[in-house]
Amino acid sequence: MTGAPLRVGLLGYGTAGRVFHAPLIAATPGLRLDAVVTRDAERRAQVEAEHPDARVVDDAAQLWAAADALDLVVVAAPNRQHVPLARAAVAAGLPVVVDKPVAPDAGQGRALVAEATAAGVPLTVFQNRRWDGDYRTVRRLVEAGELGRVTRFESRFERWRPAIKPGWRESAAPGEAGGALFDLGAHLIDQAVRLFGPVEHVYAEVDLRRPGVEVDDDAFVALTHTGGVRSHLWMGAVTAQLGPRFRVLGDRAGYTSWGLDPQEAALRDGRRPGGPGWGEVAPERYGRLGADDDLRAVPTEAGCYPDFYARVAAALRDGTPMPVDPAEAVAVVELIELAHSSAAQGVTLPVPPV
């Protein structure tokens, strides 16, 4: 990639900004982390230590006032701020990456996408788990016909966190979009739809298990895809024994894998993309493909979160598509809303036609 690096402004330096976005931006050729917005003194110190070449500002308004000093903005603030900050970026003419979920409700998401389209401003959403190695492996097996005709897809993103953690993710305040469905479900639903296409019916069970919890911490979602596949998705914080990450069943074979993609853990530990073995899992963690007792280990594809920002850079340089169509991210929020409604009513709900 030729030319000066594209200058990136990062809004927020909590878990999303510090663990995911900042390291991935810094590791992407053609991008430069130029500015970080945070008022928190501890986080300012972290930025200065971890990204000493980036300037730190107190307020996003300082970025909008000097929009020509940036080429891209990344919204990694709490969910309630996703739409207001992204709209401000669009109004300033700045291409924008929004962390998932794109909005706390589908109406706001659709309005944001419409504004960006009308303004001709590139917009994309950080659905990073499309670049998980185990998901990429499942997709390869499905597309290659290794399983035959897939009938059932099981996916889990489970944790054991019996203590409530302080912060907005555990808050039931309007607009926070907290809880397991908006957090983990945004990944699982996106992956299921990417694999098996549009959904015609949604059924969900959503519970608050921990004493004093305000938002859902235990959820199950069943999606019936128009092609006939049934996706069963589990997510939550109160799973004392974890199930398989993926179990995919077809009329020829099945595939089962365990454990999470290692990239998040590596980023949390301070490792940076680009080193040897990035995103790889050990052979003893390979998933198993086959039927009955006739099983064989299948090498897991390497996870590649860096590809997301490489595609963003290419889109801004060369006009290629952004890595995630924001309309797809809005469709995920629509399914999350239907799941909440299904659980509240105790019924299976049809997906309204587009």
Handedness of CA 44, 50, 53, 59 (dihedral sign): negative
76 and 99 fall within a common domain: yes
Q: b vs e for 266-288, b when ≥16 Cβ sit within 10 Å of the residue's Cβ? A: bbeeeeebeeeebbbbeeeebbe
- Give CA separation, 308 vs 16, 216, 314, in Å: 15, 29, 10
Beta strands in the chain, from DSSP E residues, in sequence order = 6-11, 31-37, 55-57, 72-75, 96-99, 123-126, 150-158, 199-207, 218-225, 230-236, 246-250, 254-257, 287-291, 294-298, 349-350
CATH number of the structural domain spanning residue 192? 3.30.360.10
173 and 294 fall within a common domain: yes
d(CA 121, CA 106): 20
User: What's phi and psi for 145, nearest 5 deg?
Assistant: 75, 15
Residue 316 domain flag = no
Residue 327 domain flag = no
Domain, as residue range, for 117:
6-126
Q: Do the Cβ atoms of 336 and 182 come closer than 8 Å?
A: yes
Beta-ladder partners of 125: 98
50 and 141 fall within a common domain: no
d(CA 145, CA 139): 10
d(CA 63, CA 73): 9
DSSP state of 249: E
82 and 212 fall within a common domain: no
165 and 19 fall within a common domain: no
91 and 228 fall within a common domain: no
110 and 191 fall within a common domain: no
8 CB-contact burial (10 Å; exposed 0-12 / middle 13-18 / buried 19+): buried
Radius of gyration of the chain (CA): 20
DSSP state of 34: E
Residue 95 domain flag = yes
Contacting residues for 209 by C-beta, under 8 A, at least 6 apart: 217, 218, 236, 238
d(CA 210, CA 269): 28
Residue 313 domain flag = no
Residue 330 domain flag = no
Number of independent structural domains in the chain: 2
* Order of strands across the sheet that contains 230-236: 294-298, 287-291, 254-257, 246-250, 150-158, 230-236, 218-225, 199-207, 349-350
119 and 141 fall within a common domain: no
Residue 315 domain flag = no
Residue 223 domain flag = yes
276 and 155 fall within a common domain: yes
152 and 248 fall within a common domain: yes
205 and 67 fall within a common domain: no
Q: Would you give per-residue pLDDT tens digits along the chain (354 residues)?
A: 457 999 999 999 999 999 999 999 999 999 999 999 999 999 999 999 999 999 999 999 999 999 999 999 999 999 999 999 999 999 999 999 999 999 999 999 999 999 999 999 999 999 999 999 999 999 999 999 999 999 999 999 999 988 887 776 777 777 888 899 999 999 999 999 999 999 999 999 999 998 988 888 999 999 999 999 999 999 999 999 999 999 999 999 999 999 999 999 999 999 999 888 999 999 999 999 999 999 999 999 999 999 999 999 999 999 999 999 999 999 999 999 999 999 999 999 999 987
Tally: H helices and E strands in the chain: 11, 15
Q: Which two tokens stand for residue 265?
A: 């853990």
Q: What is the pTM of this model?
A: 0.95
